[in-house]
Amino acid sequence: MQIDIKGEFVPIALATLGAGEQVYCEAGLMVYSDPSIGFQTRWLTQGGLGAVVRRTLVGGLPFHLHEFLGPGYVAFSRFRPGEMRLLTLAPGEKVDVAEHSLLLATNTVSFDTSYIAGTGRIGRLIGFWMDRLTGPGQLVFQGHGNILAFTLAEGEAMDVDHGALLMKDTSVKVQAFNQPLGAGLLGHAMSFEALKVEGPGRVLLQTVDPSRSSGAL
């Protein structure tokens, strides 16, 4: 299997598959393909009906994935500006990717989800999900804008805007908190939600908040 990232402003990932090789993605990401490519649906049933309803109706995650079977070529895009990254996972290696950022993964990469609790206040940080991918295999994900990479040591931490978090190793801890804007009651009333990210492990951030870019595309 060969995966190439092509283009710059709105790039695509082109997968060239041998006989029997497979990749999967969310619905609606295919740009073009070889007529020889096969297609099927993979339903996401992990955790039972209650978990599926919570992830999909509340969290906005998909009910199913699309699988593409070789031989042949197939191209994928999220039809938005932003950098892409190709990542190779070793057996048992796990990463979390922001929802609706995964572009494709080989069928050897298992797909699950991870929930990060919010602060409990009204707003977008009532909690959110990330895709959890486990190797071996390859995956491609796309950020909004540019992608910034950090490697945090044990106990090293940074504060991150919710919309900036793109990918992390599962060893990296993430906790939501409310950041006051000054002292006193007014400062607490005007606080904003953020994430405390603590190592060890890799953290990738995106320079554009998806919630602020969606209306412009």
Contact between 77 and 4 (Cβ < 8 Å): no
Element (H, E) at 17: strand 12-17
**Beta-carbon-side half-sphere exposure of residue 44 (alpha carbons within 13 Å):** 24
Task: Reply yes or no on whether the pLDDT at 215 is more than 50.
Answer: no
CA–CA dist 89, 102 (Å, integer) = 14
CATH of domain 2-216: 3.60.160.10
User: What's 121-184 look like in SS3?
Assistant: CCCHHHEEEEEEEECCEEEEEECCECEEEEEECCCCEEEECHHHEEEEECCCEEEEEEECCCCH
Question: DSSP character for 188?
Answer: H
Mean pLDDT on 158-169: 94
CA–CA dist 10, 17 (Å, integer) = 23
Distances (CA, A) of 130 to 2, 8, 19, 55, 112: 26, 25, 31, 10, 9
Q: What percentage of residues in the chain have a pLDDT greater than 90?
A: 62
Report pLDDT digits (tens) over 44-70: 755 555 555 555 655 556 667 899 999
Question: DSSP character for 215?
Answer: G
Strands, sheet with 127-134, edge to edge from the N-terminal-most edge strand: 110-117, 127-134, 94-98, 165-169, 201-206, 147-152
What are the sequence ranges of the domains in the chain? 2-216
What SS3 state is found at 203? Answer: strand
CA–CA dist 180, 178 (Å, integer) = 6
Report pLDDT digits (tens) over 112-156: 888 888 877 655 556 788 999 999 999 999 999 999 999 999 999
What SS3 state is found at 18? Answer: coil
CA–CA dist 136, 109 (Å, integer) = 6
CB atoms within 10 A of CB 93: 16
Task: Reply yes or no on whether the pLDDT at 89 is more than 60.
Answer: yes
CA–CA dist 37, 15 (Å, integer) = 11
Identify which has the larger pLDDT, 95 or 186. Answer: 95
Identify which has the larger pLDDT, 32 or 185. Answer: 32
CA–CA dist 199, 215 (Å, integer) = 33
